[in-house]
Structure 1
Amino acid sequence: VEVTLFDVRPSPYLQSNQRMVVGDMLDRTAVQTAVAGQDAIIHLAALADLNAAKNRPLQTAELNIMGTLNFLEAARESGLRRFVFASTIYVYSRAGGFYRCSKQACEAFIEEYQQRYGLEYTILRYGSLYGPRADASNGVYRLLRQAASSGQVEHTGTPEDSREYIHVEDAARLSADALAVEYANQHVILTGHHPIRLRDLFTMFGEMLGREVQVEYVTSSDPQNSHYQVTPYAFHPRVGRKLTTNYYVDMGQGILQMLEQLYEEGFIPVIGER
């Protein structure tokens, strides 16, 4: 399989069977050139940080909606076989702010392109991702870095907040699997196998770090807090299918990978005995 990566900066992880194209998804000509000759698109690019998006409605709409439309137009013009779109479980939710709004709009455009132009799609609704190569915009990385560097964590919410975290390697593998014919014109949910309460996650941090982790639970001053507590779901009529696998990265192992990354980045002077 030949893979072309399209991003605003070169990938430091480029593989031998991958080609890198540097460009901006708001540049229609650059997008059209990159898409020409491809069989399928997996469109992952977005302003995806909920906390950033809630204060930047115009930028969120420009990047997430117009960027997606540029790829949709390029896909239609080049006769692409499948358009795979990275959405979010927040489309079901009352939480998620402008990020949710942008993804809802994108899903509607994608469905309309299929109805009007016959462009086959798969919409992937991702849950809470974690794992290697994360940065401070990722919730687990941000909390784990606090715990590792200072032993203190601040979480906006309650100890009972629950998430179904999915490791990025599992999400990547399942995203590729979703190119199969049975997922054509389907909405697919990609979340973890087991829900975990935040208080249990912080206990796991402490046990793996070999230190006590102090947690401060704070109440958001934002009446429209972008994050959910137990479930992202609110009633909407369009239902998605959950795609899972029996082979997946255990969360403890995934956290260990992230601790190794934090150690390499200098946030942890020593991690126990090696």
Structure 2
Amino acid sequence: MLKNKKILVTGADGFIGSHLTEELVRQGHEVRAFVFYNSFNSWGWLDYSEKSIKDSLDIFAGDIRDPHGVKTAMQGCDIVLHLAALIAIPYSYHSPDSYVDTNIKGTLNILQAARELEVEKIVHTSTSEVYGTAKYVPIDENHPLQGQSPYSATKIGADQMAMAFFRSFRTPVAIIRPFNTYGPRQSARAVIPTIITQIANGINNIKLGALHPTRDFNYIKDTVSGFLAVAASEQSVGEVINIGSNYEISIGETVEVIAEAMKTKVNIISDDMRVRPDKSEVERLWADNAKAFNLTGWKPQYAGKDGFKRGIQETIAWFTNPTNLKQYKADIYNI
């Protein structure tokens, strides 16, 4: 389905978006990369892509909140992979209004333009956070949705808007729901990069929030292959599809895996700034990924504890490269 198609990636300047954009180019696809307009003329992580990849990209700098700019960016594109969003949970406590504008209104802009331009397919990006604390595990796509943070509430809203357009107008939308993606380039506001960058900077007293919650961590290469599989599958239209490893691990055990891989011992300090309000903390996430395999043939290559350890090793190798490490402020908590 992707062959000979022009593909727009929104949020192409971000963590997942940049990896996805690069892989699409490597596979020979024509890609327009929607990056957030700024006065520095920065393309985010795409600034660090290989020259051959940057030279192949059609860059569009804009704002997902602007319907005119969104429609302009989508003109001439056959498929839209919509990743642009505000994602930091702590910042959503601080500025929820911006999350409504970006995540819900931004998605509406994509859907409206897709309907008017008769785009062939949209892959809308959801998140495992929409499930909230697991009521049962593993979590399948029929699990109830629970807005336990302003961020997750806006992602639920965006998902429902996408499905409403599918049901109301037959807009060809597929919803991909990645569980906790990690890997090179991730923001240090996320738990794995914050552990690695603190250790890499010689800090042995590691500041973290709650250690007991569990997560289903998904290595970036698996998430990218999930996007490609969902985009290529005709059966994915009108469906919500989990992309996860089907393996859960606690934050506390994650620290142990990273410390062992980095050949060090650490002392964990509870930092109140990093602790979510009690009813907002998602206590348990564990993905059922059977639907992804059944509909698209996708399955994770970094599954289970061994797969997680391999992904952690690759992530550590990137973050401990001095050129990469110096871009992170390990001693400052970024909400």
The TM-score normalised by the length of structure 2 is 0.71
Instruction: Choose from 165, 179, 183 the match for 2:217.
Output: 165
Shift of 1:161: 2.2
Partner of residue 241, structure 1: 291
Given the superposition, is the C-alpha separation of residues 241 and 217 from structure 1 closer, same or farther in structure 2, using an over 3 Å criterion?
A: farther
Residues 54-111 of structure 1: per-residue CA shift (max 9 Å, x gap): 2211111011111111111111111011111111112222464011110111111111
Q: Report how far residue 205 of structure 1 moved.
A: 1.6
CA deviation vs aligned residue, 1:173-224 (integer Å, no higher than 9, x gap): 1111102111111000111232112222111122112111111346776535
Q: Percent identity?
A: 21
Equivalence for 1:143: 195
Q: Does 1:53 align with 2:107?
A: no
Q: 2:313 aligns with which of 249, 256, 261?
A: 256
How many angstroms apart in 2 are the aligned matches of 1:151 and 1:105? 41
CA RMSD after TM alignment: 2.4
Give the structure 1 partner of residue 180 of structure 2: 128
1:94-147 CA deviation, whole Å, 9 max, x = no partner? 464011110111111111111222101111112111001112232211122123
Contact 2:85 2:102 in 1 (8 A): yes
Shift of the 242–225 alpha-carbon distance from structure 1 to 2, 3 Å rule, reads farther
Aligned pairs for 1:134-213 (under 5 A) are: 134-149=186-201, 150-158=203-211, 160-179=212-231, 180-213=233-266
What's the counterpart of residue 19 of structure 2? none
User: Which is further off, 12-21 or 57-66?
Assistant: 12-21
Q: Is the 8 A contact 1:54 1:226 kept in 2?
A: no
Structure 2 counterpart of 1:85: 124
Query: How many equivalent residue pairs?
Result: 261
Residue equivalent to 2:108: 69
CA contact (8 A) 1:97 1:224 kept: no
Tell me, what secondary structure is at the counterpart of 2:187? coil
Counterpart secondary structure, 1:7: strand
1:50 shift after superposition = 0.8
The structure with the greater share of residues assigned to helix is: 2
Q: 3-state SS of the aligned residue for 1:124? A: strand
Aligned twin of 1:100: 152
Specify every segment of 5 or more residues in structure 2 that has no aligned partner in the other structure, as ranges: 1-28, 37-41, 133-145, 327-335
Aligned residue number for residue 231 of structure 1: 285
State how far apart, in whole Å, the 1-side matches of 2:70 and 2:299 are: 33
Residue identity opposite 1:215 in structure 2:
I
User: Is 1:31 aligned with 2:81?
Assistant: no
> Counterpart of 2:82?
43
Describe the SS at the equivalent of 1:33. Answer: helix
Q: CA deviation at 1:259?
A: 2.1
Distance in 2 between the 1:127 and 1:80 partners? 27
Corresponding residue SS for 1:66: helix
2:78 counterpart letter in structure 1: D
Q: Which runs of 4+ in 1 moved over 6 A?
A: none
